[in-house]
Amino acid sequence: MKGRFSAAIVAFAVATAFISIGRALPEFFVQLRDPNLFGGRGATWLLHTFGFSFVLGSCAAIAAAALLLAAWRTRLRGASDWHVGLAATFIALCLVGRIGVSLDPVAWLCIAAICLLLDRDDVWSWTAVVAITAAWELVQGGATMGALIVTLSVTANLIERRRFDAVAARKAIGAVACIGVSLVQFHSGIFSAYGAHALYLDSLLGGAQRDRLWVGAISAQDLGFAAIVVVAGLYGIRRRERLGDALLFFALLVLSLVDARNLPFFGIVAAPIVADALASYYLERRQRPAGSLAAYGLAFAAAAFAFIGVITAVEPKSVVWPRPTVAPLLSALLHRPGAHYVLCVQPRWCDAASSLKTRALSVVLDDRAGISGPAARKIQGDVANAVGNWQDELRRSNVDGILAEQNDRLVSLLRAGGWQSSISAGGAILLQKVTGQ
Amino acid sequence: MRIAWAVVAIFGARFAALAWHYPGQDADLSWQQWLGQRVLTLHHIPTQLGFETFTANGARWIPQEWLFSTAVAATLPSGHFYILAIVTALAGVCALAVTAWRAHRRGASTFATALTTALVGFAMMQSFGVRAQVFGWALLAIIVLLLDMESPLVFLIVPLTIVWANVHASALLVPALVAFWTLGTAIEDRGWSARVERNVLLTAATALAVFITPFSWHLPAYAVQLQTSAIRSAISEWQPPDLTIPAFFAGLLPLIALGCYFGIAAPRERWRDGMLFAVTVCLAFTAIRHMPLCALVIAPMVAQRLSNAIPQHARLNVVLSERFSELLVIGSSAAAASAIVLTLSHVPAIAHSSLPNEAVAKLAAAPGEHKLYCEDFAWCSMALPKKNLRVFLDGRCDPFPTAVWLAYLDVEKVTPRWSGVLDKYSVDAVLAKAGRPLAQVLALRPGWRVFYHDTGYVVFVRDGVRTAER
């Protein structure tokens, strides 16, 4: 056993996990309706043409491709097959919390490709980095992450070289181009808000949706995070004398602590670095990869087509997205005439409003806190925590529907204030303002 | 090393200032005083909850902090609390100083020792108080120093573990740490060696040492059970550290980052260090209260690795070692320490009590017996000495059954079951923070009226309950 297929086996496990979970992430419904994201339109076209199973299989294959690219990057650094398998396992653990249909796998693939190209150092690679960043921005909108990584890498390179020559100039131009293309918004939108949301920095704003590591029972993604940090601590990422590695590692580490939705990026960027640091202590096992990326790519494409083909063929064809669990609650609100304004105690629930495709229902705040105004965030924060003048704020803003957890304090408080609770689904309950209040 | 002492002095001043004003900040001292007085007067440690609670009378109780509680009872009522405050601050200083000395022993440079000592100080700030676990920090620092020394003195760890187990249940960490140290030794020695044999013996001895308390095997069982207890979700110190906590982003996280950058184990084949790094870092990510433990263990390792990059002969360290620099740093530290003491003594949140002493006293002065629910269970600790007040849940928290905890959380989180819980347990008085959801919902609830309120707290009693005002 030489562990040659260890990374491929892990990638297959990740793809299978996508199929077995078979859900769509709540954020996906917001992405579908975002006019700046062409990935949403593409996904809708694929759904109507080939069905949901095809989209699900494609997401699984793209996630597996991202993992294998990161594994290839580890391999290119001279790590043995077993160390590559270890890196792939770390990445897989980091992905667990975000498995589901969304545009995220596209971002994972882009970041894996950019990191791979940054490890190379030629004009072709830099052109490809800019092109990938542009494509990423158009399809998924999170290219700020790519621009950040490229900028950190160039900065580290400049610090290491201590001179600004033609090579440094070429890299600086590449970084500026990446930053530039990550600014592209075809249909309005404030860049800073999008940029902050792409890095999930907006999750630190009051009232915003925030996913944290290590909350509640220890999860697979907590283990993935801990494993990378512990291996880095044992072996040291300084070992390879690459400042770029260190900057990327720490930037993504902090971003993961800001919001757990950044953890897959940390895994894809950092796992090859720590696996390489580990492998560098076992010189006798170091190997250079055999074969070309193109050949492996072709083999992977064949496997991916077979995988998607089988999934599409065996699953019943459905041309609608799986309904978010709280969507029935929002639909119930639409039974009343007029426009409705909804507040969700967990902003993520309000992502489901995008799946209803109606102008009669708007939400105070959904996943994208950075894009919303400070007033909306204040209402969200005050009402969700029932602090300050939350009842006045609720009245002034004309909120007529609230989605809260069934055990939430708001349920008791609003019922005491005359609101009605009617139906519940997915752990949430809909509270409606009684007409005439 | 003098620079590191100056850093220790600054944090020592902060610890002392916080400890001095601590009785007004932490309601837990009330139940500790109550427990200590029972130990002093009855000459035995209670092992069951008594009549003071109406929800869990007779429940088994492991008062693991009995020794510390006795110290509180011996000092607080007689006005000598300052002695305990100073001793606790000294325990914090001891932990920092021993950690700095450990770094110095390992050959860490002046800058590295001072930097890591400061980071440990920051990591300790979040959890510091006149609390039993602070003595655990000092003992942990000494224990890892003894492990570092690799001498026959290492067996002093056994009596130290016994002392720690009688002060706080966190002593259970010692056998785990020694076991991981032993594992690291085995990796370094590539098999069974005299060192490994000694460390295995030490692991077994420390494992036995945690049984040498008045609670024998119940203490380890209690500590293990606590790891999966429902109460953890309701206690802020059991929550995972976050970037918004200064002690994490300015204390522990930089230490971990430096460790990750330089590498703790492999570069020098120090697998003993590596094992301790791995276990304490994982522990620290799970709960805020573990941050100081991790920082105390890993700081000297980080200082040692940092010194490889910035050795003692580097310009920075040479400058820091000059007499003028030393005088400058020591002088500045003395000024900073004085400023900290003077400033903190005037900060309202620290110098003045933020506890509902008056609300509890008013309710206790009302005629009749009251069954009191406190929105923050720690506040009910202040009601324990009051003969006519019985509490739903108080700061002893651990011995209360899970059903009581869930019922407490129903009311605290104002779930739809909240009023049913108050009815079920016949609660007739509720102490809540003014303006918070529980106070809002009680104000709207028929059958309850305000008995007392001030700017921070409000006490509701049921209509029909006899009080002085009626």
Q: What integer pLDDT is reported at residue B108 of this predicted model?
A: 93
Torsion of CA A123, A124, A125, A129, to 10 degrees: 100
Q: If you average pLDDT over every residue of chain A, what do you get?
A: 88
Q: What integer pLDDT is reported at residue B374 of this predicted model?
A: 95
Q: What integer pLDDT is reported at residue A280 of this predicted model?
A: 85
Orientation of helix B271-286 relative to helix A220-235, angle to 10°: 150
Query: Average pLDDT of B175-199?
Result: 94
Residues of A in contact with B413 (CB under 8 A): 407-409
DSSP letter assigned to residue B425: T
Q: If you average pLDDT over every residue of chain B, what do you get?
A: 91
Per residue in A163-196, pLDDT (tens digit) is: 888 888 888 999 999 998 888 776 655 555 566 6
| Model confidence at B351: pLDDT above 80 | no
Query: Average pLDDT of B426-440?
Result: 92
Q: How confident is the model at residue B470 (pLDDT cuts 50, 70, 90)?
A: very low
Would you call B261 and A238 a contact, using CB atoms and an 8 Å cutoff? yes
Would you call B414 and A412 a contact, using CB atoms and an 8 Å cutoff? yes
What share of chain B in percent tops pLDDT 70?
98
Distance from CA of B68 to the nearest CA of A (A): 31
Residue of B nearest to A211 (CA): B242
Q: How confident is the model at residue B432 (pLDDT cuts 50, 70, 90)?
A: very high
Phi, psi at A388, each rounded to 5°: 65, -150
Distance from CA of A109 to the nearest CA of B (A): 26
Q: What integer pLDDT is reported at residue A315 of this predicted model?
A: 83
Q: How far apart are CA B411 and CA B214, in angstroms?
A: 35
Cβ B231 vs Cβ B222: under 8 Å:
no
| Non-local CB neighbours of B192 within 8 Å, separated by 6+ positions | B186
Q: What integer pLDDT is reported at residue A436 of this predicted model?
A: 56
Q: What integer pLDDT is reported at residue A314 of this predicted model?
A: 87
**Per-residue tokens: A60:** 């699984």
Per residue in B388-400, pLDDT (tens digit) is: 999 999 999 888 9
Would you call B266 and A236 a contact, using CB atoms and an 8 Å cutoff? yes
| Model confidence at B203: pLDDT above 80 | yes
Q: How confident is the model at residue B314 (pLDDT cuts 50, 70, 90)?
A: confident
Per residue in B212-223, pLDDT (tens digit) is: 999 989 999 988
Q: How far apart are CA A403 and CA B253, in angstroms?
A: 36
Per residue in B445-463, pLDDT (tens digit) is: 889 999 999 988 999 999 8
Q: What integer pLDDT is reported at residue A412 of this predicted model?
A: 86
Contacting A residues, span 232-251, partner chain B, CB-CB under 8 Å: 232-239, 246, 249-250
Residues of A in contact with B274 (CB under 8 A): 233-234
Chain B contact present for A206, CB below 8 A: no
Q: How confident is the model at residue B469 (pLDDT cuts 50, 70, 90)?
A: very low
Task: Sort B156 into a burial class: Cβ within 10 Å, 0-12 / 13-18 / 19+.
Answer: middle
Tell me, rounded to whole angstroms, the distance of Cα A161 from its chain centroid: 33
Q: What integer pLDDT is reported at residue B235 of this predicted model?
A: 85
Helix ranges (H only) for A206-284 are 220-235, 243-258, 263-279
Q: What integer pLDDT is reported at residue B334 of this predicted model?
A: 85
| Model confidence at B430: pLDDT above 90 | yes
Per residue in B61-99, pLDDT (tens digit) is: 999 999 999 999 999 999 899 999 999 999 999 999 999
Q: How far apart are CA B268 and CA B133, in angstroms?
A: 33
Residue of B nearest to A279 (CA): B266
| Model confidence at B8: pLDDT above 70 | yes
Q: Choose the closest CB to A413 out of B266, B282, B441.
A: B441
Distance from CA of B163 to the nearest CA of A (A): 31
Helix (H, G, I), strand (E, B) or coil at B27: coil
> What is the number of residues in chain A?
437
- The segments of chain A whose pLDDT lies below 50 read none
Q: What integer pLDDT is reported at residue B147 of this predicted model?
A: 95
Distance from CA of B78 to the nearest CA of A (A): 41
Sequence letter at residue A242: R
Torsion of CA A289, A290, A294, A296, to 10 degrees: -90
3-state SS track over chain A: CCCCCHHHHHHHHHHHHHHHHCCECHHHHHHHHCCCCHHHHHHHHHHHHHCHHHHHHHHHHHHHHHHHHHHHHHHHCCCCHHHHHHHHHHHHHHHHHHCCECCHHHHHHHHHHHHHHHHCCCHHHHHHHHHHHHHHHHHCCCHHHHHHHHHHHHHHHHHHHCCCCHHHHHHHHHHHHHHHHCCCCCCCCCHHHHHHHHCCHHHHCCCCCCCCCCCCCCCHHHHHHHHHHHHHHHHCHHHHCCHHHHHHHHHHHHHHHHCHHHHHHHHHHHHHHHHHHHHCCCHHHCCCCCCCHHHHHHHHHHHHHHHHHHHHHHCCCCCCCCCCCCHHHHHHHHCCCCCEEEEECCHHHHHHHHHHCCCCEEECCCCCHHHCCHHHHHHHHHHHHCCCCHHHHHHHCCCCEEEEECCCHHHHHHHHCCCEEEEEECCEEEEECCCCC
Residues of A in contact with B410 (CB under 8 A): 407
Radius of gyration over alpha carbons of chain A, in Å? 23
